[in-house]
Structure 1
Amino acid sequence: MNFATLDLNLLRVLDALFCEGSTVKAADRLAMSQSAVSGALSRLRNALNDQLFVRQGNRLVATDYAAAIEIGLREELERLEALLAPRATFAPQTAEGTFRIAASDFFAELLMPPLGDLLQKSAPNIRAQLVDLVPHDYVASLEHRNADIALIPDLVLPEWVNREPLFHSPFHVIARKGNPGIEGLKDGTRMPMDIFCALHHVLFSPEGNLAAMGDAALTRVGKRRQVAMTVPVFSGVCRAVSESDLIALVPAQLASKVADTFGIRVFEPPMEIDPALIICIWHKRSDNSPMAAWMRSQVFDLMKALDVED
């Protein structure tokens, strides 16, 4: 038998014949004509090289070969039916699984705490994991890190990736409360350009770059800053600022979140910096995955509440 050319619809006919022992009753079961069932039986006999059934009075009796495959055939058909059945309504309270989020540690502060609280209350058996982005190639996080979603700045994406805009993030300047370089400045005001450029900076850069969006904005007005160090995680940037006279440009939402914890003050930057648009990306293959779709919607709701546009 050449399985590649076998019409799988014939297997449904074979199963009905096993159940009914009659081409007439099998036809009724399948809503087919008796002649169509007889034709299907003939094709099955040719394909499987066996009579399959012999007539005994008014009933068809399975041959030894057919009897040997009856139970296995029914099990496989039931397995296929379950596989292709419409998805049941997703129930977060009883669902189990792991959902991996590729993102910077910015989201350890702003996403994971409220997401953890939400999951404990609504989906206690779903585990959320925050993993690092693939350096230099954020989209690859969906493949190489097996992430379900990635949270990244907006960029051009390949056609197999879906995106959802989440929030705009302006940049603010942070400095420790006792930093002598900011003496006399009021919280929330614009830091003067001469102070911003005179003080040394700590820069967030997982790749160790010495320039970022703030430097491009400075260049446009003919200025430059002094980068004293780079740190690959935002928590390290905030810690370095809180324990030194360094300052830093960080996302506004993060600055607001950690100001009290780290004992830092927050200012507007002296130059205009376009707010970064943060998006969620995921592989199109998981569009219809019930758990992934539900988790994405929870992340969307939590993150869109952060939207700020200066």
Structure 2
Amino acid sequence: MNFATFDLNLMRVLDALLREQSTVKAAQKLNLSQSAVSSALSRLRHTLDDQLFIRRGNRLVPTDYAQKIALPLREELDRLEALFAQPKSFDPSAEHMDFRIAASDFFAELLMPVLANDMASAAPNIQPKLIDLVPDRYIQTVEQGSSDLALIPDETVGNWAEKEFLFHSAFAVIARRNHPALQKANIKAGELMPLDLFCALRHALFSPEGNSSAMGDAALAKLGRTRKVGMTLQVFSGVCRVVSESDMIALIPWQLGQKWADQMQLDIFVPPMHVPVVKIVGVWHKRSTNNPAHRWVREQIFAEMKKLDAIQPDLSAWPQAGA
């Protein structure tokens, strides 16, 4: 390739195609016609001597070469944008962008409705997009640029990333109101669920991967006990719906239980074993730290999420580690 004659505008087209994997969506993102994007792709294939994308149904699947250059290309474009950006005050109302958030449906309930109101008034052309939290790959989606932010349980991240603590998330037991076994045992909402009853009842388990064990099972194992997992679901909303319409019970984040208790006719109970409180963090790529638009959206999300730390049970009477 002769770089002296290479049209640098093609870099933006290639980046959009790698992100969207669709000529239609890439054209919308770049405010170009689909035919212009298709023409640019043809030029890229000729210049780079690679097919770049293979069509699979409605998707363009990147070749190995395209996947290899995707992240470096994104980083170079970010650097060029920062290089030529003029210092000015950021105006969210004038910004046009998508902001992809990798997170579970916990945040569909406790974050996205607030953003729907706040963004509509302050930044009508910034579009938050909640995308699937891919098991074992949520950090990679940030690193590779397919998401702008991940909202996840705290973990070690590479030196390419930044993270910020948002809130603590305790786990509570939920059951449908007037659950026959709980009524028979005279266990009232808010009380500790007896260990024998907890283990005897069938559980609905949140697991995007379809695993049959989670944190609750590790906590039970320390007591030499197990529970009966009746089914797994990939979303918390499904877990709560199953519990509300059956005799199953479940362990879910406390804040989510509070959100859905009245709507789904659920009672909340103290778990009979110590389940560690989870620290939830926001993770993003360092390349975006000083991007004014990214920082502004980040701050809106983080401010809202940090309010959830106030929605916590009094854990002083809950089972503690080693108890």
Would you say same fold, with TM above 0.5? yes
The equivalent residue for 1:304 is 306
What is the CA distance between 1:204 and its match in structure 2? Answer: 0.2
The residue identity in structure 2 corresponding to 1:275 is V
The residue identity in structure 1 corresponding to 2:274 is E
Contact 1:134 1:140 in 2 (8 A): no
The equivalent residue for 1:285 is 287
When residues 93 and 211 of structure 1 are mapped into structure 2, their CA distance, relative to the original with a 3 A threshold, is same
Moved over 6 A (4+): none
The residue identity in structure 2 corresponding to 1:155 is E
What is the CA distance between 1:91 and its match in structure 2? Answer: 0.8
The equivalent residue for 2:147 is 147
The residue identity in structure 2 corresponding to 1:117 is N
* Deviation sequence 1:40-70 (CA, Å, 0-9, x none): xxxxxxxxxxxxxxxxxxxxxxxxxxxxxxx
When residues 111 and 81 of structure 1 are mapped into structure 2, their CA distance, relative to the original with a 3 A threshold, is closer
The residue identity in structure 1 corresponding to 2:306 is K
The equivalent residue for 2:205 is 203
The equivalent residue for 2:157 is 157
The residue identity in structure 1 corresponding to 2:214 is A
The equivalent residue for 1:133 is 133
Question: What are the residue-to-residue correspondences of 1:201-280 with 2, within 5 Å?
Answer: 201-280=203-282
The residue identity in structure 2 corresponding to 1:102 is A
Give the secondary structure class of the aligned counterpart of 1:303. helix
The residue identity in structure 2 corresponding to 1:116 is A
Structure 1: distance between partners of 2:97 and 2:82: 20
What is the CA distance between 1:90 and its match in structure 2? Answer: 0.7
What is the CA distance between 1:201 and its match in structure 2? Answer: 0.3
Contact 1:201 1:229 in 2 (8 A): yes
Q: Structure 1 unaligned runs (5+)? A: 5-79
Give the secondary structure class of the aligned counterpart of 2:92. coil
What is the CA distance between 1:115 and its match in structure 2? Answer: 1.3
What is the CA distance between 1:86 and its match in structure 2? Answer: 3.3
Structure 2: distance between partners of 1:260 and 1:121: 29
Q: Structure 2 unaligned runs (5+)? A: 5-79, 316-323
Structure 2: distance between partners of 1:82 and 1:200: 54
Give the secondary structure class of the aligned counterpart of 2:165. strand
Tell me which moved more, 144-153 or 198-207: 144-153
The residue identity in structure 1 corresponding to 2:259 is K
Question: How many residues get paired?
Answer: 233
Structure ID, larger Rg: 1
The equivalent residue for 1:86 is 86
Tell me which moved more, 138-147 or 180-189: 138-147
Structure 1: distance between partners of 2:248 and 2:125: 43
Contact 1:134 1:144 in 2 (8 A): no
Structure 1: distance between partners of 2:205 and 2:107: 18
Structure 2: distance between partners of 1:291 and 1:85: 12
What is the CA distance between 1:229 and its match in structure 2? Answer: 0.5
When residues 85 and 245 of structure 1 are mapped into structure 2, their CA distance, relative to the original with a 3 A threshold, is closer
The equivalent residue for 1:171 is 171
What is the CA distance between 1:137 and its match in structure 2? Answer: 2.2
Contact 1:149 1:280 in 2 (8 A): yes
What is the CA distance between 1:194 and its match in structure 2? Answer: 1.1
Structure 2: distance between partners of 1:147 and 1:88: 26
Structure 2: distance between partners of 1:116 and 1:268: 33
* Deviation sequence 1:64-85 (CA, Å, 0-9, x none): xxxxxxxxxxxxxxxx999635
Matched, 1:186 2:188: yes
Tell me which moved more, 200-209 or 89-98: 89-98
Contact 1:133 1:141 in 2 (8 A): no
Contact 1:171 1:251 in 2 (8 A): yes
Structure 2: distance between partners of 1:185 and 1:194: 13
When residues 82 and 257 of structure 1 are mapped into structure 2, their CA distance, relative to the original with a 3 A threshold, is closer
Give the secondary structure class of the aligned counterpart of 2:120. helix
Structure 2: distance between partners of 1:149 and 1:81: 19
What is the CA distance between 1:264 and its match in structure 2? Answer: 0.7
When residues 85 and 199 of structure 1 are mapped into structure 2, their CA distance, relative to the original with a 3 A threshold, is closer
Tell me which moved more, 140-149 or 207-216: 140-149
When residues 139 and 85 of structure 1 are mapped into structure 2, their CA distance, relative to the original with a 3 A threshold, is closer
The residue identity in structure 1 corresponding to 2:256 is L
Structure 2: distance between partners of 1:232 and 1:208: 7
What is the CA distance between 1:116 and its match in structure 2? Answer: 1.2
When residues 288 and 248 of structure 1 are mapped into structure 2, their CA distance, relative to the original with a 3 A threshold, is same
TM-score (norm. length: structure 2): 0.69
Contact 1:202 1:237 in 2 (8 A): yes
Structure 2: distance between partners of 1:258 and 1:88: 43
When residues 81 and 276 of structure 1 are mapped into structure 2, their CA distance, relative to the original with a 3 A threshold, is closer
Structure 2: distance between partners of 1:169 and 1:232: 19
* Deviation sequence 1:195-238 (CA, Å, 0-9, x none): 11110001000001111111111111111111011001101100
